[in-house]
Amino acid sequence: MDPVRNPFAPGAGTPPPELAGRDELCETVRVAVERVRLGLPTKSILMVGLRGVGKTVLLDRMRDDAEGAGIQTVRVEAPESRSLPALLAPQLRQAMLRLSRNERAKESAQRALRALAGFAKALKVKYQDIEVGLDFEPEPGLADNGDLEHDLQALIEAVGQAAQKAGTALVLFVDELQYVEEDQLAALITALHRAAQRRLPIVLVGAGLPQLRGQMGRAKSYAERLFDIPEIGPLSNADARIALTKPVQAQGVEITEDALRSIVKQTHGYPYFLQEWGKHAWDAAAASPITIGDVQRASLATVAALDESFFRVRFDRLTPLEKKYLRAMAELGPGPHRSGDIAEQLERKVTSLGPTRNKLIAKGMIYSPNPGDTAFTVPLFDEFMHRIMPGHDWKH
Ligand SMILES: Nc1ncnc2c1ncn2[C@@H]1O[C@H](COP(=O)(O)OP(=O)(O)O)[C@@H](O)[C@H]1O
Ligand SMILES: [Mg+2]
């Protein structure tokens, strides 16, 4: 069928034609944001889940919803190599400049901008990547200690006060939170905790890989009580069907029951895979309805596309030993696996593989669902490892 009208949208952070199965979560966040605007006690929310389950598109949807309701928002994505203060500073500045146009909030927003100036100057020594335009002179003693935990707390407080004066709330949307270093994560948790105690209208909606849960607990032991940590998983059978049928029907096209069943089965309901299968099945079909035959003919192209887009980008960043480690895991199946079993596959000692395992965790490839267990952060990654490193001589 006409590829021009193909509704599916595979791609990291690409909004789907139908955001299926996430209404409840969007509602939870809407309620949290409205509560915080009213100064009522509210937990920050961290969505954790594997790659490709739709965390990024959810954050974007929630942000659109919040802005539509007159909420101030800040949106950042933590890359592997930048500091949290460097990410937040320019975004907080933009938010405060917007708030300073509000008559009631003007003074507090300007004070927050002074806090930001002090913050940036004092922390520049430690976090050299901070680059932010300064609109006001710092106020001596305001967020300028040079200690992140203290200064971020003071900055967030000043920012929260400005939002309060404007009768709104400020929501920090932070993606890929697992890449934030532990001391910086600790500072963020403390700052949010303090703001919550003072009932300031500022809250975090974050997303990250499953290891984030443990990282939060290690950063601050009380973190788990302070945050709601919903798990984002694959779509239920019913929601996966909706994700496929609605976009197709919106184009006046039908899809047969066994075609649907086949796609849901092969994708296990993972959103990224649903988009990729849907896209290729559409392209393979000559006319409506899309049939099981179309799905079967699309399957090679789908797997090839997933290998190139979804799996390959992560694989290419690995050292030879890291690749072998993942291949050994794949040899054992989808996982999770015991460290001892993986080491045995590699004919090595568990301890000698510790550094490799830690690097793979830091790169966001694997995580530890329980002590001593290791699992892939990418669904169906074991099958990909078999495709890219086939046969038996991968050990050598
Ligand atoms: N609820 C959903 N229903 C259908 N497709 C979705 C849904 N959520 C995400 N997708 C699709 O899945 C893919 C991955 O989404 P993304 O937000 O990048 O995942 P993550 O950030 O968890 O890795 C995108 O192509 C997106 O369009
Ligand atoms: Mg993402």
Give residue 81's pLDDT band: very low, low, confident or very high (50, 70, 90): confident
Q: Read off the DSSP letter of residue 9.
A: -
Query: Could you tell me if the CB of 20 is within 6 A of ligand 1?
Result: yes
For a ligand 1 pocket test, name from 246, 275, 277, 313 the mutation site with the most ligand atoms within 8 angstroms of its C-beta: 275
Burial of 91 from C-beta contacts in 10 A (0-12 / 13-18 / 19+): middle
Is 182's pLDDT higher than 90?
yes
Question: What per-residue string of b and e applies to 285-295 under the rule 16 or more CB within 10 Å gives b?
Answer: beeeebbbebb
Give residue 396's pLDDT band: very low, low, confident or very high (50, 70, 90): confident
Q: What percent of the chain has pLDDT above 90?
A: 94
Burial of 4 from C-beta contacts in 10 A (0-12 / 13-18 / 19+): exposed
209 C-alpha to ligand 2 centroid (Å)? 9
Q: What is the pLDDT of residue 93?
A: 97
Give residue 143's pLDDT band: very low, low, confident or very high (50, 70, 90): very high
Query: Could you tell me if the CB of 57 is within 6 A of ligand 1?
Result: yes
**pTM for the full predicted model:** 0.94
Give residue 304's pLDDT band: very low, low, confident or very high (50, 70, 90): very high
For the chain, what is the mean pLDDT? 96
- Radius of gyration of the chain from its Cα atoms, rounded to whole angstroms: 23
- Of 8, 34, 5, nearest in space to 20 by CA: 8
237 C-alpha to ligand 2 centroid (Å)? 22
- Of 218, 153, 208, 146, nearest in space to 182 by CA: 218
Ligand closest to the CA atom of residue 24: 1
d(CA 256, CA 253): 10
Q: What is the pLDDT of residue 314?
A: 84
The residue assigned the tokens 């499953």 is 210
Alpha helices (H) along the chain: 23-37, 55-68, 84-99, 106-123, 148-165, 182-197, 211-219, 223-226, 237-250, 257-267, 271-284, 292-306, 312-315, 320-332, 339-346, 350-362, 381-388
Axis crossing angle, helix 271-284 with helix 237-250, rounded to the nearest 10: 40
Give residue 80's pLDDT band: very low, low, confident or very high (50, 70, 90): confident
- What is the position in ligand 1's atom list of the atom closest to the CA of 53? 22
